[in-house]
Amino acid sequence: MKTRFPLIARMGLAVLALGVAMPSARASDALEQLRKTTEEEVGVVDTQALFKKAELTQKYIAALDNLEKTLAASGQLDAIVNLRAERDEVRKTGATTSHDDKPIADLRVKYLKSLEGIDTATKDARTKAVESLAKRIREQETALTKAGKVDEALNLRKEGERMMLEFSGGAAADTVAFADDPRSNALPNQKDLEIIKLPPEEPPVVENPFAIKGNWETSMTVPAMKQKVREPIVVGHRESNKWATIVISSHSIWSGAERGKVHQAAGNVIARKSRFESLELGADHASRYYFANCAFTNCTFPKVGWWHDGGWFWAKHYFENCYIKGSYADNLTIDYNGLRADTCVFEDVEFPTYRWGKHQPADFANDKWLKIVNSRFVKCKMPLSFLLLTRDCVFESCVVSDDINRGDDVEITKPLQIDMYVSNTQVRLNKRPPVVTINQKKYNEIKVRVPTAASLTELMAK
């Protein structure tokens, strides 16, 4: 492995001449004087380091010459070959080789240690020069501010921080504030969400599907029935690559009991104008539920199974003109749960924290699989993280509060704005991120159609 001199030491003042140039049109007299003074100080430091390293290199080559004589006297031909390779490399590039002959390695250690000492001394001298620059910048800032030239003082600070980074070789980074990315300062453009359509599949009717033993691995239409689900139903079989589409006929009523639940291992479940009670409707990766004009009481919609592709929204649930009462899910994360609800009503639901992980909610402002739109919340409780999923929604007698535990979710840094159309709703947000804006408006000011529980019930009966 080769060890090279630092780039600045090998290129000398040429680097400074290129790196610190600044058009005079952009600099005040104060900035130009600060730059000139610091250039001179740092130039002296780097020149001294350059000469010290050159002198050290010559001493190392002389030491290698003497070592060759010693090795020749003892007949160590192989070691001499490696020594000459070391010497040639040092002469050409200033770098060393990785030959591990003990006499060469011992001498090399002394050389590299001396080289390190020069680098440390150079770094310390540069640090002192940068500290002196920082002091002079503060003095100039104060003078400009007292003279009422605040904008010039701010410009001096900005350009001064750039100089500190340049002259310190990045070592002064801790004393310089990060500049924000201007692309992240604007609210996301709100776009019309992509329409999600229910799949058109109409598989053949199976008269008694609940008599099937094992997974439902074949696509089928389940006839309308009032059914107690006492044992787990598993749709599809991923390990066998058997994907199934299950269509639940309109006006069906399914109720969970004992171990009853519906889990999708591989496939889709489509339901229209049906009711579900006390039932877990879970999906594994790439499986989806499509519900239209359906009602749910005390149901949950988790991600189940262990399959994933490393992305997000592994399990997806789509609701259109649906009424959801009593519960939704115990846990929701951007990795596990895709949720889209159009013109729905949620009543008496306490929603969990939506875990955004390393992602920014603003990046999903127009994602078709992560939005609740034109919907109504009645007597619901939700944390801010879940509220960020909503767009053009009405909130009646709800409570919105801070998240109790966001785990290791990253700080929200991208601006996002949520308009709430409220009636008798409490918004208790003491820890709202500064970039998140919550606008509370009167519920009757909303410009889109938002259903009620009564209107949805009427729609389901048609």
Whole-number pLDDT of residue 170: 57
* DSSP string of 35-46, one letter each residue: HHHHHHHHHHHH
**Strand ranges for 40-123 from DSSP E:** none
Q: Which residues contact 441 (CB under 8 A, 6 or more apart)?
A: 419, 420, 421, 422
pLDDT bin (cut points 50, 70, 90) of residue 79 is very high
Tokens standing for residue 19: 């790196």
- Dump pLDDT digits (tens) for 335-344: 899 999 999 9
Cα 303 from Cα 285, distance rounded (Å): 8
Q: Each residue of 29-70: pLDDT tens digit?
A: 777 888 888 888 888 988 999 999 999 999 999 999 999 999
pLDDT of residue 225 exceeding 80: yes
pLDDT reported for residue 317: 97
- Segment 264-300, tens digit of pLDDT: 999 999 999 999 999 999 999 889 999 999 999 999 9
Q: Give the per-residue pLDDT at 309.
A: 58
Lookup: tokens for 210: 């609940």
> Residues of the chain with pLDDT > 70: what percent?
89
Nearest to 283 by CA among 323, 249, 243, 310: 243
Percent pLDDT > 90 in the chain is 67
Lowest-pLDDT range, 9-13, 138-142, 267-271, 379-383? 9-13
CA distance linking residue 374 with residue 26, whole number of Å: 51
Residue 135: exposure state from Cβ atoms within 10 A (0-12, 13-18, ≥19): exposed
For residue 6, what pLDDT band results from cuts at 50, 70 and 90? very low
pTM: 0.63
Cα dist. 343→327, 328, 349, 455, 462 in Å?
18, 16, 16, 11, 17
List of residues 6+ apart from 361 with CB closer than 8 A: 385, 388, 412, 414, 416
pLDDT given at position 405: 87
pLDDT of residue 424: 96
The average pLDDT across 11-28 equals: 37
Kindly tell me if the per-residue pLDDT of 17 is higher than 80: no
Residue 349: what residue type? V
Average pLDDT over residues 116-124: 90
Average pLDDT, integer, range 235-257: 95
pLDDT in tens, 185-221: 678 888 999 999 999 999 999 999 999 999 999 999 9
Contacting residues for 450 by C-beta, under 8 A, at least 6 apart: 343, 374, 375, 376, 392, 393, 394, 421
pLDDT tier at 132 (50, 70, 90 boundaries)? confident
Query: What's the order of all strands across the beta sheet hosting 220-222?
Result: 220-222, 244-248, 267-272, 287-292, 315-320, 337-342, 370-373, 390-391
Which structure tokens are listed for 394? Answer: 């009405």
Q: When comparing pLDDT for 428 and 25, which is higher?
A: 428
**Coil vs helix vs strand at 296:** strand
Please report the pLDDT score of residue 20 as a whole number.
Answer: 37
Cα 248 from Cα 252, distance rounded (Å):
7
- Give the separation between CA 346 and CA 395, rounded to whole angstroms: 10
Query: Using one digit for the tens of pLDDT, what is the confidence trace for 136-177?
Result: 888 888 888 888 888 888 888 888 877 777 777 655 555 555
How does pLDDT run across 343-377, given as a tens digit for each residue? 999 999 999 999 999 999 999 999 999 999 999 99
Q: Which two tokens stand for residue 353?
A: 């924290």
- What's the mean pLDDT when you consider all of the chain? 87
Between 182 and 99, residue with greater pLDDT: 99
Sign of CA dihedral 402, 365, 421, 413: positive
Distance, CA of 172 to CA of 371 (rounded, Å): 44
